[in-house]
Amino acid sequence: MSNFSNYIAGEWVAADDYIKNINPSDLSDVIGQYAQASSAQLDTALDAARQAQKVWAATGLEKRYNVLMSIGEEMKNRAAELGELLSREEGKPLAEGKGEIFRAGQFFTYYAAEVLRQMGDTADSVRDGIEIDVRREPVGVVAIISPWNFPTATATWKIAPALAYGNAVVWKPANLTPASAWALAEIFSRHDLPKGLFNLVMGGGSSVGQRLVESAGVDAISFTGSVDVGRGIAASAMANMTKVQMEMGSKNPLVVMDDADLDLAVSCAVGGAFGGTGQKCTASSRLIVHEKIHDAFVEKASAATKAMKVGHALTDGVQLGPVVSETQLNSNLAYMKLAKEEGCELVCGGDRLDMATEGYFMSPALFINGDNSMKINREEMFAPIACVIKVGSYDEALSVSNNTGFGLTSGIMTNSLARANHYRRNSRTGCVMINLPTAGTDYHVPFGGRGDSSYGPREQGSYAAEFYTQVKTSYISSGSPE
């Protein structure tokens, strides 16, 4: 069994402690053992990042462009290989794993181009003889804490802009998916970056992660994960007045109106709810359906849910792989029990499945007769579980849709331009989908939510500059030429 080290200050560094990375599709398949960084190693990474950032910020734009473009192209070219590794350790179907790696490469090629588009502003002062220059500068050392459900994509949409805008990175990935993190670090290790500009510090959230967010050596923290952890990070960051950007949970609604294309609505609902085994922050677990088409929708959605193929993530034709861990599976089954206790009616699914290999498999579950006060409709489950909530009007659908502490994505299925436009303007979420699944966003435009879903500046697109840079306004009095 191979051991995989952390990448710190431009070197691969062994550790005293390692964890096993196990394939959730086949528990007999151990992918490797991954180093757990010590406190001293984290401090070394932070010190190296501080020094390397100064060098990188002074590096010419053309070189920064070339490095990011090269990383992005390598990732796209290796999408099949690295996508298989990702699916093997996280459990998403192979097609999704390959797609995630390719998309991660696109983040780097996009931000490579952004390197060349960093423009400032000029203005005349209200005082005679003074000119004003406004430009963005790097924020400094960025701590990145990324989740396991999109172990490469989420990390890269943070790392790529951090580097594009001249920052250094100390990255703590999720301990459930270290193989994808190590593979990305290996790519970085072969590119012409200052030693210490990029650091991989694998380890537990309560140890390495907590020490990282408490460090005065960090200038900004970008986090994706749960609400509770996010609140703790914000509290720790405040002690040092550290800039924070957090993407957390959600409970996304998909409204299906009586004038919707029913087949399209079912496709969007089922794909949005169960894609990635429901382990997406953009998953549509609340299906808000107009009473006039409720029964027809449930009949078709039930048939589509039952037809989904569950199996080993690397098997051809599999639509749902396993959930990521035994802990996650037990949580999912507990929500199944809770939904029944709350009065929901199970239409189909929700069982742990025995497959050819031992893994954390369960069938996607569809409930009906739910209401918006139930915990399964209030809490993010991160599970292949969806609940239909029946409503009598568009106004009620909008009200139920907005009745949540979260606010990441929402969607409506309708052929009415008036309803679609009204919903777009009045849905209290960061992203709104019209006749599309709630899951699925582009990389060149901002992503983020409201309420408990997000805190701080938006991610992705040119809007990422708000987090990864700081603005400097300079006043210049040049005097008179002689």
pLDDT tens string 25-77: 999 999 999 999 999 999 999 999 999 999 999 999 999 999 999 999 999 99
Whether the predicted pLDDT of 418 surpasses 90: yes
- pTM for the whole structure: 0.96
Whether the predicted pLDDT of 206 surpasses 90: no
Whether the predicted pLDDT of 1 surpasses 80: no
Beta bridge partners of 471: 136
Cβ 453 vs Cβ 224: under 8 Å = no
What is the distance, to the nearest Å, from the Cα of residue 193 to the centroid of all Cα atoms in its chain?
25
Q: What angle do CA 378, 380, 385 make, to 5 degrees?
A: 95
pLDDT digits (tens, 9 = 90+) for 92-131: 999 999 999 999 999 999 999 999 998 899 999 999 999 9
Would you list the DSSP string of 107-174?
HHHHHHHHHTT---EEEE-SSTTEEEEEEEEE--EEEEE--SSSTTHHHHHHHHHHHHTT-EEEEE--
Has 73 been annotated as catalytic?
Answer: no
The H or E element that residue 78 is part of is none
pLDDT digits (tens, 9 = 90+) for 311-348: 999 999 999 999 999 999 999 999 999 999 999 999 99
Residues 192, 231: Cα–Cα separation, whole Å: 37
Has 281 been annotated as catalytic?
Answer: yes
- What's the pLDDT score for residue 424? 98
Residues 84, 97: Cα–Cα separation, whole Å: 6
Q: What percent of the chain has pLDDT over 90?
A: 97
Do the strands 243-247 and 454-455 form a parallel or antiparallel pair, or are they unpaired?
A: antiparallel
Whether the predicted pLDDT of 425 surpasses 90: yes
Residues 66, 99: Cα–Cα separation, whole Å: 23
Would you list the DSSP string of 292-354?
TTHHHHHHHHHHHHHHPPB--TTSTT-SB---S-HHHHHHHHHHHHHHHHTT-EEEE---B--
What is the distance, to the nearest Å, from the Cα of residue 92 to the centroid of all Cα atoms in its chain?
14
Q: Which of 89, 114, 247, 380 is catalytic?
A: 247
| Residue from 208, 163, 261, 257 nearest 34 by CA | 208
pLDDT band of residue 482 (cuts 50, 70, 90) is confident
Q: Which of 89, 96, 281, 380 is catalytic?
A: 281
Whether the predicted pLDDT of 480 surpasses 90: no
- What's the pLDDT score for residue 114? 97
pLDDT band of residue 448 (cuts 50, 70, 90) is very high
CA distances from 336 to 195, 298, 341, 383 (A): 49, 18, 9, 10
Residues 13, 10: Cα–Cα separation, whole Å: 9
Cβ 475 vs Cβ 125: under 8 Å = yes
Beta bridge partners of 168: 141
- What's the pLDDT score for residue 481? 87
Residues 325, 318: Cα–Cα separation, whole Å: 18
- What's the pLDDT score for residue 112? 98
